[in-house]
Amino acid sequence: MKLDAKIPKGPLAEKWENYRGTMNLVAPNNKRRIDIIVVGTGLAGASAAATLGELGYNVKVFCFHDSPRRAHSVAAQGGINAAKNYQNDGDSVYRLFYDTVKGGDYRSREANVHRLAEVSRNIIDQCVAQGVPFAREYGGLLANRSFGGVQVSRTFYARGQTGQQLLLGAYSALSRQIATGGVEMYNRHEMLDLVKVDGKARGIIARNLLTGKLERFAAHCVVLATGGYGNVFYLSTNAMGSNVTAAWRAYRRGAFFANPCYTQIHPTCIPVSGHYQSKLTLMSESLRNDGRVWVPKKKEDCKKDPLSIAEEDRDYYLERIYPAFGNLVPRDVASRAAKNVCDEGRGVGATGLAVYLDFASAIERYGKAAAHAEGIHNPSAEKIKELGRAEVKAKYGNLFHMYNKITDEDPYRTPMKIYPAVHYTMGGLWVDYNLETTVPGCFALGEANFSDHGANRLGASALMQGLADGYFVIPYTIGQFLSKEIRTPKIQNDSKEFMDAEQDVKSRIDKLLNIGGNQSVESFHRRLGKIMWDYCGMSRNAKGLEEARKMVQDLRKEFYSDVFVPGSNDEFNPELEKALRVADFLELGELMIVDAHDRNESCGGHFREEYKSPEGEAERNDADYTYVAAWEFKGMDADPALNKENLEFNDIELKTRSYK
Amino acid sequence: MKLTLKIWRQTNANDKGSFETYNLDNISTDMSFLEMLDVLNEQLVTEKKFPVSFEHDCREGICGACSMVINGQPHGPMKGTTTCQLHMRSFNDGDTIVIEPFRSRAFPVIRDLVVDRSAFDRIIQAGGYISVNTGQAQDGNAIPIEKDTALAAFDSATCIGCGACVAACPNASAMLFTSAKVSHLAKLPQGEVESTKRVLGMVNQMDQEGFGKCSNTGACEAECPKEISIENIALMNREYLKASISSDKMG
């Protein structure tokens, strides 16, 4: 199939503006007769549902949580980017666009990224108007900070809870529409299949998680905003419930899955402490504004108390290797550097899989400034530390508090220990410029799609993309599809297609409940995660990927012969929910491996050991791999088919990414 | 460490429910409380039993999903901490731990430790928002907001909607939850415009949901994992009084 990204003609900076002005509209009287299903209530889903409701469409929105406010966007800590240039430090729409394309290692679609940079400014305005309490300066204006991979301050934040505050903004807009009746909310409903009628997405099958009842929902189109698939690794910073099922089921119904191997390993997470570990906790990237990353120069120092290691015996390796960006290199670069020093045997902590993130210099710097501001002459070292700690607390207090709770260590006095962990997935459902998948009428937003971050996402850009897609893109682009549907009568949910899809879901559930094996769902998930992390994680090679594919296939077979799922379908049954999700992860894992094996280059989060420079940096192959790999489902017994969307860069010159 | 757990088991809302006792061995002090329950559940599944249902998701203390009463305290013994952030180092070897769901008439039990907190969503739907459509906003810096005001609004806005305040209150009142949202929005110039309508709508909904009245015991503030101040309740009472007097049309 030839992929058409439907990128509008014209100069890059004018594409979106011109397209918006000429695209098809749906008149208000017709909007009232059109039904839209939105799945997911994170930043992308909640903002889309609220905005589509405001426009007058009939919206049904679904989430598996007990409340839309619990979607995992809530956990984003650091901030949201916007090209406001409030700091007068040289930022612009073009620069945000450029940084994002470069940060993504030239594997994203130019036109989408430029649009993202353009609407980023509207997002901040919208959120402020909703009452999102962003950090402010004493003059009452909005404050900014820096994030990795950029040299300007364009990140807006609300202490370390930016995701929560933005989500509550979108949730409040959604709640307002629910109150008016324009949006109908279905909590504790999990989408288990996409229903197609005459080739178009016309509804979903959802399981009511309270009763187990399968319910058929019909609409003129379906919008998926169901997040990423990082939990395929079992241990990740994702919430326990985050899963790929909705996107995966769309893939099995004909939506192409793009670049599944692009996963982001976040450099600053709390290291694993034991086999019982259920998830990993992120320490916001914003900490790298003030924290310095180091390990001992000598292996024999690794088990010593870090405070006893002299300054000259420390290797601030990011500052040493990447002087231009220092501790603020992009995430993929920082993660690989941490892995390298640990592989050299210079990792710290009980497992040797950790590096230090040290705030001592920041505490001293802030302390001196505060003493100066308060007019204290010749302050004692202790006084400087005390004042400095107070400043650091004001900036990062809740993160330090969280670190202390989890590790029982005091990061104001001893350096934090951190290690990379799976955090975000750049891959996702393939979408065109309208955010429509290869199934007509099925749209994908936010982390669930692939479009904006290429092979690596910059910090504070996930929130930006989720809200851009939901507030400012889909409300327009959905009209391109729906304007042709105004004569389509209400979609009925009892057609053969719906009944068949419901039956398919029922068979999947029965199958799982009837295996009656001996191993828990959790144990399979843990084993899958280990395979993925070892062979398709921070670094990959062809031989390992070939072995891993076989291992995942075998594990899947074992799952379907020996898993035990307690209880029945007709009750609140969290183990069954998990079993359905893990079953899909066991299929996705293989596709990720296939994709990683196909891509014979290193780019962004995808590092193939065979393709690196003498200094160990990633080496892209632009001649052969400047494409989006969009995989097409061909049945469980056949290999997926590769479709390529060639990426054209007309406004940016492809360069080797250098942060040195 | 070795532990004895007494956990509330209840198959559904109609079931009477009772405590079951479980013994666990080899629990590490570095485990989180929920990871300890994971160990129990994996053990139960191995014995082909139905695991203990409990709500959880982010496990970072921010989504508000986890909701259990541990030894009589919502979210357990550690101040300013959700259950998912509580670690076993807060307990001693040989301890008996009693685990129950959040109890309130407005939070019916769904299964074991899982309760229905959708009443909170309905309270927000009754006015916990600013009426601004997408695209209507002016520039974010058009209205400066004094730093202290922004911080105060932020402090109220940190509520995660877990319901510990209701579980802690002897009257099962939802005043802390409701007032946190009323205050967050009332403190900001953007939210002040609708403050009359908002407070009347939200308080009315709160009463309809069957939450109890506030008698100023302060238990909500003491147990709140985000340490939301009881001052929010005072502010809401003032807002409510002001709204009731000034605008009889709105009521």
CA triplet A495, A500, A502: central angle to 5 degrees? 100
Q: How far apart are CA A428 and CA A446, in angstroms?
A: 9
| pLDDT score, position A464 | 98
Q: Kindly report the backbone phi and psi dihedral angles of residue A136, in degrees, each rounded to the nearest multiple of 5, phi listed first.
A: -130, 160
Per the CB < 8 Å rule, is A131 touching B28? no
Nearest to A75 among B60, B85, B157 (CB): B60
pLDDT average, residue stretch A407-421 = 96
Q: What's the mean per-residue pLDDT of chain A?
A: 96
Per the CB < 8 Å rule, is B11 touching A185? no
User: Domains of chain A: which residue ranges?
Assistant: 267-422, 496-626
> Which pLDDT tens digit goes with each residue over A462-519?
999 999 999 999 999 999 999 999 999 999 999 999 999 999 999 999 999 999 999 9
pLDDT average, residue stretch A86-107 = 96
Among B39, B48, B53, B63, pick the best mutation site for testing chain A contact (most A Cβ within 10 A).
Answer: B63
Q: Using an 8 Å CB-CB cutoff, list chain A residues near B45.
A: 520-522, 564, 566, 575
Q: Is B75 on the interface with A (CB under 8 A)?
A: no
| pLDDT score, position A659 | 82
Nearest to A140 among B87, B124, B144 (CB): B144
Q: How far apart are CA A601 and CA A167, in angstroms?
A: 37
Strand (E) positions, A412-513? 416-425, 428-429, 442-444
> What's A492's DSSP letter?
P
Nearest to A240 among B59, B160, B185 (CB): B59
Give the nearest chain B residue to A239 (CA atoms): B58
Distance from CA of B245 to the nearest CA of A (A): 25
pLDDT average, residue stretch A593-613 = 97
Among A156, A176, A280, pick the best mutation site for testing chain B contact (most B Cβ within 10 A).
Answer: A176
**Looking at the domain covering B3-111, what would its CATH class be?**
alpha beta
Output B205 or A77, whichever has higher pLDDT.
Answer: B205
Among B24, B52, B58, pick the best mutation site for testing chain A contact (most A Cβ within 10 A).
Answer: B58
pLDDT average, residue stretch A198-203 = 98
Query: What are the tokens at A623?
Result: 């001649």
CATH code of the region A267-422: 3.90.700.10
Please report how many Cα atoms fall inside a 13 Å half-sphere around the Cα of residue A520, on the Cβ side: 19
Best CA proximity match to A657, nearest among A149, A64, A242, A291: A149
Give the nearest chain A residue to B66 (CA atoms): A70
Nearest to A572 among B114, B130, B136 (CB): B114
Given a cut of 60, whether residue A119 has pLDDT beyond it is yes
Q: Kindly report the backbone phi and psi dihedral angles of residue B132, in degrees, each rounded to the nearest multiple of 5, phi listed first.
A: -135, 125
| pLDDT score, position B93 | 97
Tell me which residues of chain B, numbers 166 to 225, contact chain A at a CB-CB cutoff of 8 Å: 184-185, 188, 190-191
Nearest to A75 among B62, B110, B141 (CB): B62
**Residue carrying structure tokens 């050991």:** A609
Q: Is B57 on the interface with A (CB under 8 A)?
A: yes
Distance from CA of A239 to the nearest CA of B (A): 4
Tell me which residues of chain B, numbers 221 to 250, contact chain A at a CB-CB cutoff of 8 Å: none
Among B123, B129, B185, B198, pick the best mutation site for testing chain A contact (most A Cβ within 10 A).
Answer: B129
Q: Using an 8 Å CB-CB cutoff, list chain A residues near B118.
A: 66-67, 187
pLDDT average, residue stretch B171-178 = 98
Q: How crowded is residue B209: how many other Cβ atoms within 10 Å of its Cβ?
A: 19
Length of chain A counted residue by residue? 660
Per the CB < 8 Å rule, is B158 touching A70? no
Domain B117-246 sits in CATH 1.10.1060.10: yes
Instruction: Give the C-alpha distances (Å, rounded to integers) separating B18 from A566, B48, B63.
Output: 20, 20, 28
- pLDDT class for A397, splitting at 50, 70, 90? confident
Q: How crowded is residue A480: how many other Cβ atoms within 10 Å of its Cβ?
A: 18
Give buried/exposed letters for A282-298 (b at 16+ CB in 10 A, else e): bbbbbbbbbbbbbbbee
C-beta separation of A256 from A643 below 8 A: yes
DSSP line for B150-202 = HHHHHHHHT-----HHHHH-TT-B-HHHHHHHHHHHHTSHHHHTTHHHHHHHH
C-beta separation of B148 from B155 below 8 A: no
> Which pLDDT tens digit goes with each residue over A254-305?
999 999 999 999 999 999 988 899 999 999 888 998 999 999 999 999 999 9
**Residue carrying structure tokens 């299964």:** B111
Q: Using an 8 Å CB-CB cutoff, list chain B residues near A403.
A: none
pLDDT above 70 as % of chain A: 100
Query: What are the tokens at A521?
Result: 């769902």
Per the CB < 8 Å rule, is B42 touching A141? no
Give the nearest chain A residue to B130 (CA atoms): A130
Give buried/exposed letters for A353-383 (b at 16+ CB in 10 A, else e): bbbbbbbbebbeebbeebbeeeeeeebeeee
Given a cut of 60, whether residue B250 has pLDDT beyond it is no
Given a cut of 50, whether residue B251 has pLDDT beyond it is no
Per the CB < 8 Å rule, is A523 touching B42? yes
Q: Using an 8 Å CB-CB cutoff, list chain A residues near B126.
A: 179
CB-based contacts of A380: which residues, under 8 Å, 6+ apart? none
Q: How far apart are CA A327 and CA A102, in angstroms?
A: 18
Domain A496-626 sits in CATH 1.20.58.100: yes
Per the CB < 8 Å rule, is A405 touching B56? no
Per the CB < 8 Å rule, is B145 touching A282? no
DSSP line for A25-60 = ---HHHHTT-EEEEE--SHHHHHHHHHHHHHT-EEE
Nearest to A70 among B57, B137, B145 (CB): B57
- pLDDT class for A2, splitting at 50, 70, 90? confident
Nearest to B147 among A138, A164, A523 (CB): A138
Tell me if B3-111 shares its fold with B117-246.
Answer: no
H/E element, A409? none
Q: How far apart are CA B85 and CA A85, in angstroms?
A: 38
- pLDDT class for B248, splitting at 50, 70, 90? low
Q: Using an 8 Å CB-CB cutoff, list chain A residues near B192.
A: none
Nearest to B134 among A168, A475, A520 (CB): A475
CB-based contacts of A623: which residues, under 8 Å, 6+ apart? none
pLDDT average, residue stretch B220-238 = 97
Q: Kindly report the backbone phi and psi dihedral angles of residue B142, in degrees, each rounded to the nearest multiple of 5, phi listed first.
A: -65, -35
Best CA proximity match to A172, nearest among A164, B143, B166, A134: A164
Best CA proximity match to A108, nearest among A474, A470, A449, A540: A449
Q: Using an 8 Å CB-CB cutoff, list chain B residues near A520.
A: 42, 45-46
Distance from CA of A141 to the nearest CA of B (A): 5
Give the nearest chain B residue to A134 (CA atoms): B150
pLDDT average, residue stretch A175-190 = 97
Distance from CA of B189 to the nearest CA of A (A): 9
| pLDDT score, position B249 | 52
SS (H, E, C) A89-141: CCCCHHHHHHHHHHHCCCCCCHHHHHHHHHHHHHHHHHHHHHCCCCCECCCCC
Tell me which residues of chain B, numbers 88 to 127, contact chain A at a CB-CB cutoff of 8 Å: 89, 110-111, 114, 116-118, 120-121, 124-126
**Residue carrying structure tokens 């290291």:** A271
Q: How far apart are CA A445 and CA A478, in angstroms?
A: 12
Per the CB < 8 Å rule, is B135 touching A129? no
Given a cut of 90, whether residue A616 has pLDDT beyond it is no
Q: How far apart are CA A480 and CA A485, in angstroms?
A: 10
pLDDT average, residue stretch A219-246 = 98
